[in-house]
Amino acid sequence: MTHSLLIEAMKKTDFYSHRPSEVEFIETHISYVFIAGDFVYKVKKPVKFDFLDFTTPGKRRFYCEEELRLNKRLASDTYLDVIAISLDARGNITLNKGVEVVDYAVRMKKLPADRMLKALLFQGLADEKDMDNLAKIIAAFHQEAQTGGHIDEMGNIGNIRHNIEENFAETLNYINVTIPEYQYKFINNYMGEFLAENKTLFEKRITDHKIRDCHGDLHLDHICIANEIIIFDCIEFNERFRCGDIVEDVAFLTMDIDFNGYSRYADAFIKSYIRYSGDTDLPVLLNFYRCYYAYVRGKVTSFRLGQEELQENEREQITKTATQYFDLAYTYAARLGKPVLILTAGLMGSGKSYQARKLAARLGAEIIRTDILRKELFDMKPTERRYENFGKGIYSEDVSRFIYDKAYELAEQKIKQGKAVIIDASFKKRAERQKALEMAKNLGIRFYILECICPDEITRKRLEKRMLENDNASDGRWELFQEQKKDFDAINEVATDCYFKIDTSANPEIARQEIITRIKMGI
């Protein structure tokens, strides 16, 4: 019996005793899934990877039974039983009534697709209360989950390192296919350094009984919020992927929320989970594990490129999705674990705000933009125009000095909360830059200046385009540009390792990669 015959048989409605009106077939890299009316049948592919082995009927039966046992912890009424797939006396494939068992399927109730957390978030039907309820359930599940003995060994730093090294080995062939080489190297270095620097914390997690038999695959499509919250489809095929630090489940879920563009809800979930679990060490480990799981999703998605008979549009979509996961892993790896202060500096139209936004997104920094502070001071909307002469009105020296002082005050508050800060301003005066440097020294944090430059002809085009679009807080205009240029103090007062210069007209992405690496190494 070949699995192609099994698939064709199970696609037919008359294969099932309850006679569904239709059967939907879904193929993943390790399973065949048949949605037959109100029931779902999941058959394991006869495949072998470094992380699983489904090559014999006996192994597939074992892992079907494990899937049933483990998922009943959080979805007891959803998972029903394991059914034998057999050949009858005439050689036809049948369920539970043949003479020769050839395979097995997990049978479960079909859950409403429109009540999956991913669908609810997309429709705007989920809120912080749902995140709170979910956090409460997962924290309680973790509290009751099995721990000790061989499970504790899963939290051993050697095992964690093995899993990480396996990821990088299995993605070598995808370098510059789904993951750029610079991201592969950066993430690899980050994860190795984090393990080395936090050895004591990983050991403490074992002592504190934070290593548990968890879910292991906690993403949005595995959470159904209907009359109750149902969490399903945990990892059954490899114990070391399921058993680990409880923060791993939190990391997987919040990574998936971030990936789908709902970071506000990820933050709400984390806040609630910490409150219910009392796990104050979790924030230190969170980005490390989110990076790990984003990388795993990139890897697993890349594996799908090996499927036969992929259409070109399917191949392109798989490549795009895998690349997005790896890019998110890179973002987590780039996030700063300690506060720093970064100043943008440069003339109007040089691209400071754009570069600040791009860097902040990677580094996890908060931006304080003086253009917006200035408008707020005068009760103006951010995009409301105020055309003043150079150095006059709301752009006078006295007002500018007040705005900079306000920016320093806000930055200090955020830094004391442990946040990295980018002050987005022209910083044309050396005295203002030196004030910021002194503040950083007093707070004991690293300090950087990012000077943005651009050819005058490109600056002019940018400023003219900005005037037409009316969607920017800056009032910079070409007629003021030359005045500002003459009024700009050259930046020569900081050490070279704290100073970056970026031509925003000449592939700034490459420059940002270097800046991120240097800042990450500097902290």
Could you give the CA distance from residue 367 to residue 357 in angstroms, rounded to a whole number? 8
Band (pLDDT 50/70/90 cuts) for residue 491 is very high
Q: Tell me the pTM.
A: 0.87
Could you give the CA distance from residue 124 to residue 346 in angstroms, rounded to a whole number? 40
Rounded average pLDDT over 505-520: 91
Kindly provide the b/e burial profile for residues 483-504, where b requires at least 16 CB atoms within 10 angstroms of the residue's own CB.
ebeeebeebeeeeeebbbebeb
Rounded average pLDDT over 291-320: 93
- Please check whether residues 63 and 174 belong to one and the same domain: no
Could you give the CA distance from residue 387 to residue 463 in angstroms, rounded to a whole number? 13
| Listed residues 83, 110, 137: the one ending a domain | 110
Could you give the CA distance from residue 206 to residue 189 in angstroms, rounded to a whole number? 24
- Please check whether residues 137 and 241 belong to one and the same domain: yes
Q: Are 184 and 171 in contact (CB under 8 A)?
A: yes
Q: Say what percent of the chain tops pLDDT 70.
A: 97
Lowest model confidence (mean pLDDT) among 2-6, 142-146, 338-342: 2-6
Rounded average pLDDT over 224-245: 94
Could you give the CA distance from residue 225 to residue 80 in angstroms, rounded to a whole number? 19
Q: Are 339 and 346 in contact (CB under 8 A)?
A: no
According to the model, what pLDDT value does residue 390 have?
Answer: 67
CA distances from 372 to 382, 383, 397, 425 (A): 6, 9, 17, 10
- Please check whether residues 312 and 222 belong to one and the same domain: yes
Rounded average pLDDT over 341-365: 94
Query: Residues 6 or more apart from 226 whose CB is under 8 A from it?
Result: 111, 112, 115
Q: Are 304 and 157 in contact (CB under 8 A)?
A: no
According to the model, what pLDDT value does residue 99 have?
Answer: 84
Rounded average pLDDT over 114-125: 97
| Listed residues 110, 142, 177: the one ending a domain | 110
Could you give the CA distance from residue 99 to residue 88 in angstroms, rounded to a whole number? 5
According to the model, what pLDDT value does residue 428 have?
Answer: 93
Is the pLDDT at 258 greater than 80? The verdict is: yes
According to the model, what pLDDT value does residue 91 have?
Answer: 86
Band (pLDDT 50/70/90 cuts) for residue 475 is low
- Please check whether residues 164 and 286 belong to one and the same domain: yes
- Please check whether residues 67 and 151 belong to one and the same domain: no
Is the pLDDT at 523 greater than 70? The verdict is: no
Closest residue by Cα to residue 339 from 411, 289, 272, 404: 411
- Please check whether residues 325 and 450 belong to one and the same domain: no
- Please check whether residues 422 and 492 belong to one and the same domain: yes
Rounded average pLDDT over 327-350: 95
Kindly report, residue by residue over 157-166, the tens digit of the pLDDT. Answer: 999 999 899 9
Q: CATH number for the domain including 498?
A: 3.40.50.300
How much is the mean pLDDT over the chain?
93
- Could you list the beta-strand ranges (E) of 147-297: 211-213, 223-225, 229-231, 243-245
- Please check whether residues 235 and 357 belong to one and the same domain: no
User: What is the distance, to the nearest Å, from the Cα of residue 122 to the centroid of all Cα atoms in its chain?
Assistant: 17
- Please check whether residues 325 and 182 belong to one and the same domain: yes
| Listed residues 110, 139, 159: the one ending a domain | 110
Q: If you count them, how many residues does the chain have?
A: 523
Q: Say what percent of the chain tops pLDDT 90.
A: 80
Is the pLDDT at 1 greater than 60? The verdict is: no
Q: Does residue 380 or residue 355 have the better pLDDT? A: 355
- Please check whether residues 392 and 322 belong to one and the same domain: no
Provide the residue type at 125 as one letter. L
Could you give the CA distance from residue 108 to residue 97 in angstroms, rounded to a whole number? 19
According to the model, what pLDDT value does residue 394 have?
Answer: 73
Is the pLDDT at 393 greater than 90? The verdict is: no
Lowest model confidence (mean pLDDT) among 228-232, 249-253, 432-436, 463-467: 463-467
According to the model, what pLDDT value does residue 391 have?
Answer: 66
Could you give the CA distance from residue 106 to residue 61 in angstroms, rounded to a whole number? 9
Domain that holds residue 27: 3-110
Is the pLDDT at 388 greater than 90? The verdict is: no
Q: CATH number for the domain including 319?
A: 3.90.1200
| Residue carrying the six token digits 């679009």 | 469
The token pair at 291 is: 């990076």
Kindly report, residue by residue over 70-90, the tens digit of the pLDDT. Answer: 999 999 999 999 999 999 888
- Please check whether residues 61 and 92 belong to one and the same domain: yes
Rounded average pLDDT over 304-328: 93
- At 110 the three-state DSSP class reads coil
Kindly report, residue by residue over 260-284, the tens digit of the pLDDT. Answer: 999 999 999 999 999 999 999 999 9
C-beta contacts of 96-103 below 8 A and 24+ residues apart: 101/57, 102/1, 102/6, 102/57, 103/3, 103/6, 103/43, 103/57, 103/60
Sign of torsion, CA 177 178 183 185? Answer: negative
Q: Does residue 462 or residue 499 have the better pLDDT? A: 499
- Please check whether residues 357 and 377 belong to one and the same domain: yes
Beta bridge mates, 499: 449
**Number of domains within the chain:** 3
Q: Does residue 346 or residue 463 have the better pLDDT? A: 346
According to the model, what pLDDT value does residue 203 have?
Answer: 97
